[in-house]
Structure 1
Amino acid sequence: MNTRKLLTAIAAMSLASLLSAGASAEEYQGVLQFSSTASRADVRAQAAVAARSADPYAEGASAGVPVAVAGLADRASIRAEAVAAAHAGNPYGDGASVGTPSRSGTGFARITVRSGA
């Protein structure tokens, strides 16, 4: 009997706490009245200027075309470095995959392939 009264009291207290909390929401204040001293033509002109100006909030990729930076090397030297790097082999290779085996008259030299495995 005591447990039944205790459970009933707990249920009543929890129900009372839920009902007392209630729903709280902001009250409706109506439509806000806006009064401006600028004419429509002034606002339209300011909007046109803002649309054509740079975005002050742009960052990174959305900031537009970056300014070109002058290089310190000329085109021919960069091209020569690229060709040399392409002929140098695999820069990330290690062990058996460092270089490509040379071709003999009958195909790949078996000794080269076996040593790389």
Structure 2
Amino acid sequence: MNTSKIIAAAALSLLAVAGANAETYDGVHPLTTGASRADVQGSAVAAARAGNAYGDAANAGVEIVASTTNRAIVREEAVATAHNPLQSLDRRAFYRDQVPSAYNKPKVSFTRQAAL
């Protein structure tokens, strides 16, 4: 029994030695380009100014948005929406995704007035 354990350990150690092939270290890779540092820096600056060549809107340029709405009307709608107390009301927060009728139309004013 003891001999079989020694033979098994020797066989495993031989397999480990045979399987352990380390790669050789070649050091730092040699320089493969002939460009000078100034040339590389110049091309890097040009590439940075060119923008993202792989983006969706890289070659789109300036896009003009034509709006037919008056600026004052848009501002009034924004102010009205900002002052709406039920603006962030989410129906998913209620039972069976139904907003209770008490929330549909506010019967009280949400603004406070100073007492005299």
Structure 2 length-normalised TM: 0.49
Normalised by the length of structure 1, the TM-score is 0.49
Q: Larger C-alpha radius of gyration, 1 or 2?
A: 1
